[in-house]
A and B are shown apart, each in its own frame.
Chain A
Amino acid sequence: MDSNIAPSQPSVPTVVSPPMLQNEPPAIAARTVNVFYGEKHALKDVTIDIYRRQVTAFIGPSGCGKSTFLRCFNRMNDIIETCRVTGRITLDGGDIYDPRLDVVQLRARVGMVFQKPNPFPKSIYDNIAYGPRIHGLTTSRKELDNVVEQSLRRAALWDEVKDRLSEPGTALSGGQQQRLCIARAIAVSPDVILMDEPCSALDPIATAKIEELMDELRQDYTIIIVTHSMQQAARVSQRTAFFHLGELVEVGPTEEIFTRPQDKRTQDYITGRFG
């Protein structure tokens, strides 16, 4: 096995976790995960630990399997007929591919924000309220109103939309829609938020807002973000994982990956020599 891969126990010294997390067990632990799309082997023996209250960035050239891996954490790959996942992924110690586990519950715990903003063609309010409603998180209209407001506030969207909550979410600008999707994800109060290139369609201002938001959200949530921007990975993440051709090449604290990459491929990628 590749020596650069994070070991199963965070106490093993090859990988330095941020000081505050030294002794905490990982929120998510993936062990020898393989993903196949039919015959295609998209992800090969990936082993990684994801820690609580951190942003972990997945970087790597297009088609290397970042999204595929991300979708393993909330079992979105289940929807794809041809997709097959092997290996073991645990969330807080529980195997998420356990056949007895309820996917609906898992996805409530592991929220996801997609690359392309995908608000429901419903009102802004109903977009946010949808998750709490289907999971029965609130008992009264007032409580629901409160959840909607808090989620929109945390997503830094409240001031822009507070007067037009009944307008369709699809009528917002792209950046606002993406923040709406983030608010929708946090309204369910998940433990983990997965973000697949959340800023790829946004301008620098909207991007800055969302990055700020991620920094704030990581106080409470475990965040995994896929990004094509090295700067973004460097700005928002505490740990970075570099993927190449379906393999996890290297994972470690973000400064280390960007300043002292262990692997030639990582170095080439972050300095822009391929990708």
Chain B
Amino acid sequence: MMQPLHAPPNEAGVSALPRRVAESMMPTEERIGSRHTDAAAEARLRARYAAQRRFKAYGVLAIGVAIGALLWLLITLLSNGVTAFVQTNLRLAITFDPAVVDPQGNQSPESLAQGDFGRVIRDALRQRFPDAQGRVAVRNLLALLSSGAEFELRDRVIADPSMIGTTQPVWVLASSDVDMFRKGFFEKAADGGAGGRLNAQQVAWIEELAASGDLALQWNRLFFKAGDSRDPELVGVLGGVLGSFFTLFVCLVLAFPFGVAAAIYLEEFAPKNRFTDIIEVNINNLAAVPSIIFGLLGLAVFLNFFGMPRSAPLVGGIVLALMSLPTIIIASRAALRAVPPSIREAAYGLGASKMQVVLHHVLPLGLPGMLTGSIIAMAQALGETAPLLMIGMVAFIVDIPQGLTSSATALPVQIFMWADNPERGFVEKTSAAIIVLLAFLLTMNAIAIFLRKKFERRW
């Protein structure tokens, strides 16, 4: 039997008032035992606990669904994208004929740049399969090679000119169709072909190469070195990553100081009047404006009026900064408001000026919250494509951006464009680019957490 928490009202030693109240509320014959231990009370208690259990169950369910969905997404992405990090290469015994690859004969980079490396690769492949005779067969054979193989080979020879004049086994990039076949994405058809892209003869060649160990999956360096391309085996994320990086850099450099300064002014210094009320309402409104509107603004103001360059990370960063400013201001004001008033009073009481109170006490305490808000705004900006559309950053750009004003695209734009591409080879690249984007995001968030922990102080 549970011990009642409060003594029963008819026991001695209880003050007069509670006893009177308790007695008047209770039928006379049931006055033994407490109102908190009888059957009805236990039923009420059980109902309360049941409600609590239900509530917890809903919570667990919600989190479970969220985690499940996230895992599903990640697993799909990883299983689709992980194959993009390796690429099929062919090993060919290539003869570096000086007359072909080094027209000036001095092994200088300028001379090698004019060399025909495509020809030495093609010759090597035809030597490997002398049975390929006739125009069609040769064309089919050469289709096993990637059109980018020669450029990679040239870079390698420029780095090591001693290869010139020798014959040696070299790995060269295979075409996307070979890659897809090797990775098992092409079904073999009844006629011996595969995936509708390779015929029986090509499949036979590939299988012969594989049998002799001359066809292998190797680490896809190009994916981290290259920009966009028409050929899925040649694409890389570096262009998108750098484009996003430059854009976010501009965005952060503009939005963070302006946002924090605006928040401090509005929260600590601005008089509370009609005018500041209007500003406040409009900042909240701006946070809800669809992002494409900011893109239109960028087009009208920065490109058309100020004549800034099209497709440049500089303009993208400015547009995204305008978009993130309201979020940063709102988050920073909330962070400032969360600083306990007792700290301000303590500082004012010691004779600190308003400026000193803000700089010495309020700002350091609010900074972690401001950083968190800003990083969330940055993460949002990282994922934006709509505002970039209007200023020409949604474009096919092969070159790696060199700076804030060179033509660039952004990582999410890159993903969008690859996803739009019908070729089978782009499927895995799309997933891989998403993995890179997520890694980018995770890094940013990790930095945010690190900074917050570093600046966080107890009070």
* Complex Cα–Cα for A112 and B344 (A): 13
Q: Does A237 contact B (CB under 8 A)?
A: no
Which of B340, B345, B351, B365 lies in contact with A131, CB distance below 8 A? Answer: B351
Contact B345 A170 (CB under 8 A): no
Cβ < 8 Å to A, chain B residues 400-459? 457-459
Q: Does A74 contact B (CB under 8 A)?
A: yes
Contact A184 B350 (CB under 8 A): yes
Q: Does B356 contact A (CB under 8 A)?
A: yes
Contact A79 B350 (CB under 8 A): no
* Complex Cα–Cα for A135 and B351 (A): 8
Which of B342, B350, B353 lies in contact with A185, CB distance below 8 A? Answer: B350
Contact A118 B343 (CB under 8 A): yes
Given contacts A107-B351, A111-B350, contact A120 B458 (CB under 8 A): no
* Complex Cα–Cα for A125 and B260 (A): 30
Cβ contacts under 8 Å, A81 to chain B: 272
Cβ < 8 Å to B, chain A residues 78-110? 79, 81, 104-108
Q: Does B347 contact A (CB under 8 A)?
A: yes
Q: Does A121 contact B (CB under 8 A)?
A: yes
Given contacts A81-B272, A168-B458, A170-B459, contact A118 B353 (CB under 8 A): no
| CB of A43, distance to nearest CB on chain B (Å) | 19
Contact A76 B459 (CB under 8 A): no
| CB of B275, distance to nearest CB on chain A (Å) | 16
Cβ < 8 Å to B, chain A residues 239-258? none
Which of B349, B352, B353, B458 lies in contact with A121, CB distance below 8 A? Answer: B458
Cβ contacts under 8 Å, B351 to chain A: 104-108, 131, 134-135, 188
Cβ contacts under 8 Å, A188 to chain B: 350-351
Q: Does B346 contact A (CB under 8 A)?
A: yes
Q: Does B122 contact A (CB under 8 A)?
A: no
For B365, give the chain A residue with the smallest CB separation.
A121
Q: Does B348 contact A (CB under 8 A)?
A: yes
For B342, give the chain A residue with the smallest CB separation.
A118
* Complex Cα–Cα for A112 and B347 (A): 10
The interface bits of chain A over 181-197 (1 if a CB of B lies within 8 angstroms of the residue's CB, else 0) are: 10011001000000000
Cβ contacts under 8 Å, A130 to chain B: 347, 350, 352, 360
Contact B361 A120 (CB under 8 A): yes
* Complex Cα–Cα for A111 and B348 (A): 10
Cβ contacts under 8 Å, B353 to chain A: 104, 134
Contact B459 A121 (CB under 8 A): yes
Cβ contacts under 8 Å, A107 to chain B: 348-351
Which of B272, B346, B352 lies in contact with A134, CB distance below 8 A? Answer: B352
Cβ contacts under 8 Å, A118 to chain B: 340, 342-343, 345-346
Cβ contacts under 8 Å, B347 to chain A: 120, 130
| CB of A105, distance to nearest CB on chain B (Å) | 7
With an 8 Å Cβ cutoff, the count of chain A residues facing the other chain is 28
Q: Does A44 contact B (CB under 8 A)?
A: no
* Complex Cα–Cα for A74 and B351 (A): 9
Q: Does A114 contact B (CB under 8 A)?
A: yes
Cβ contacts under 8 Å, B352 to chain A: 104, 130, 134
Contact B345 A76 (CB under 8 A): yes
Q: Does A31 contact B (CB under 8 A)?
A: no
Q: Does A218 contact B (CB under 8 A)?
A: no
Q: Does A154 contact B (CB under 8 A)?
A: no
Most B Cβ at <10 Å: residue of A111, A114, A121: A121
Cβ contacts under 8 Å, B360 to chain A: 130, 134
Cβ contacts under 8 Å, B345 to chain A: 76, 79, 114, 118
Q: Does A116 contact B (CB under 8 A)?
A: yes
* Complex Cα–Cα for A145 and B385 (A): 57
| CB of A76, distance to nearest CB on chain B (Å) | 6
* Complex Cα–Cα for A64 and B75 (A): 66
Most A Cβ at <10 Å: residue of B272, B344, B345, B349: B349
Given contacts A81-B272, A121-B457, A134-B356, contact A114 B350 (CB under 8 A): no
* Complex Cα–Cα for A46 and B365 (A): 39
* Complex Cα–Cα for A112 and B345 (A): 9
Cβ < 8 Å to B, chain A residues 47-61? none
| CB of A27, distance to nearest CB on chain B (Å) | 18
| CB of B142, distance to nearest CB on chain A (Å) | 71
Cβ contacts under 8 Å, B346 to chain A: 114, 118-120, 181, 184
Which of B343, B348, B457, B458 lies in contact with A79, CB distance below 8 A? Answer: B348
* Complex Cα–Cα for A111 and B351 (A): 8
Cβ contacts under 8 Å, B350 to chain A: 107-108, 111, 130-131, 134, 184-185, 188
| CB of A101, distance to nearest CB on chain B (Å) | 13
* Complex Cα–Cα for A114 and B458 (A): 19
Cβ contacts under 8 Å, B365 to chain A: 121
* Complex Cα–Cα for A188 and B351 (A): 9
The interface bits of chain B over 353-371 (1 if a CB of A lies within 8 angstroms of the residue's CB, else 0) are: 1001000110001000000
Cβ contacts under 8 Å, A105 to chain B: 351
For B350, give the chain A residue with the smallest CB separation.
A131
Cβ contacts under 8 Å, A135 to chain B: 351
* Complex Cα–Cα for A185 and B345 (A): 12
Given contacts A104-B353, A114-B342, A118-B343, contact A76 B457 (CB under 8 A): no
For A107, give the chain B residue with the smallest CB separation.
B351
* Complex Cα–Cα for A114 and B341 (A): 12
The interface bits of chain A over 151-171 (1 if a CB of B lies within 8 angstroms of the residue's CB, else 0) are: 000000000000000001010
Cβ contacts under 8 Å, A131 to chain B: 350-351
Contact A79 B459 (CB under 8 A): no
* Complex Cα–Cα for A190 and B290 (A): 56
* Complex Cα–Cα for A134 and B356 (A): 8
25 A-B pairs (CB sep. < 8 Å):
A74-B349, A76-B345, A79-B345, A79-B348, A81-B272, A104-B353, A105-B351, A107-B349, A108-B350, A114-B346, A116-B342, A118-B342, A120-B343, A120-B459, A121-B343, A121-B457, A122-B457, A130-B347, A134-B351, A134-B360, A170-B459, A184-B350, A185-B349, A185-B350, A188-B350
Residues of chain A having any CB pair with chain B under 8 Å = 74, 76, 79, 81, 104-108, 111-112, 114, 116, 118-122, 130-131, 134-135, 168, 170, 181, 184-185, 188
- Would you list the 3 A-B pairs with minimal beta carbon distance, nearest first? A107-B351, A118-B342, A108-B351
Given A114-B345, A134-B356, output 12 extra A-B contacts at Cβ < 8 Å. Answer: A74-B349, A79-B345, A104-B351, A114-B346, A118-B343, A118-B345, A118-B346, A130-B347, A130-B350, A134-B351, A170-B458, A188-B350
Residues of chain B having any CB pair with chain A under 8 Å = 272, 340, 342-353, 356, 360-361, 365, 457-459
